[in-house]
Chains A and B, each alone.
Chain A
Amino acid sequence: MKKIQRSAFYRLVTTFFDVLQNYEEGLPVVAFRFSDNFQETYPEIQQKWIQILLRAKGWIVPNYELAPDLEKVQILRVVVKENTTEAVSILLLILLSSFIEAVVQLVDRLLEDIVSDVEYFDLCKS
């Protein structure tokens, strides 16, 4: 490709990038937290549960508070090493989403029960 680019005979129309230089520099580390939207919808669900659930499956993904002034922000952190292949990353994603789905389902059902209890209580009173 570079040879075509340098030659005077042709003009290159497409280019494949050395993609790395297009991205922000950094370590292969992913730091993430529950989105604002999710936290507002489910304030009952604690982010540290994800750490505990992953630990039960043999993954060590720490959940911790950031440094002072940002101590209210909790992050989960994954270090991507040479043995974290694409398949392993996808496995982690499946776990991360299935845990959330399970916990959301549980919380929804509990909230439903509470609501129906309150309705029943109101019905008894009247």
Chain B
Amino acid sequence: MYLCVLFPSYPLTPHSVDGASGAFVAPFAHPKLLWDFKLPRVVSINTSGHKFGLAYVGVGWVVWRSKQYLPKDLIFELHYLGSVEYSFSLNFSRPAAPIIAQYFNFVHLGFEGYRAVAKDDLKNARLLSRALEKSGWYTVISDIHRLKVEDHLQKNANNDFDEENPEVSILPLGNNIF
């Protein structure tokens, strides 16, 4: 993202994003975040299907912007029984169970389902973070429970932000209510 912002005129070097576990959280929890194909130089993204993809261990994903970016060397050509079979995989032969589990969850949960899971995860993570911090024994290093600095809630923290009920708040309205 920073490359694109800082050097917009720099020749478009193709980038591959290692999405790891985050690429199954970011699109659902933070759809506006710029890290994916919205950036012109990103041509491929990989991510784990297990972890936040909600499938079993054994499925990972690589997605290309278009066929032209997939190196031909990676495609395996099999001339078998009089026809040509093209396959692209890390292993030639492997169980399909994790892929079917992933497929099921895609169909079953959909975008809204994955978003609901991501929101729940983050809510529980915030609960954990706040409780640890309030205990006094621990300091939390991760930032997901902190409000964005530019956020108006932060600016008006003393007036409107309800510490005891941090998930709900009231807009700062000032004199404009009536």
**For B82, what are the chain A residues with a Cβ–Cβ distance below 8 Å?**
none
A27 touches B128 (CB 8 A): no
Cβ-defined partner of A23 (8 Å) among B52, B138, B147: B147
**For A81, what are the chain B residues with a Cβ–Cβ distance below 8 Å?**
51-52, 121
CA distance A19 to B120 in the complex (A): 11
B87: CB under 8 A from chain A? no
Cβ-defined partner of B124 (8 Å) among A11, A20, A31, A86: A86
B3-11, B26-34, B58-66 - the one binding chain A: B26-34
B41-49, B69-77, B169-177 - the one binding chain A: B169-177
CA distance A89 to B125 in the complex (A): 8
A28 touches B121 (CB 8 A): yes
CB-nearest residue of chain B relative to A76?
A: B138
A30 touches B30 (CB 8 A): no
| Chain A interface residue number, banded | 35 or more
B169 touches A17 (CB 8 A): yes
A69: CB under 8 A from chain B? no
B25 touches A24 (CB 8 A): no
CA distance A90 to B138 in the complex (A): 15
**Chain B positions near chain A (C-beta within 8 angstroms):** 21-22, 25-26, 29-30, 33, 51-52, 54, 117-129, 131-132, 135-148, 151, 153, 167-171, 173, 177
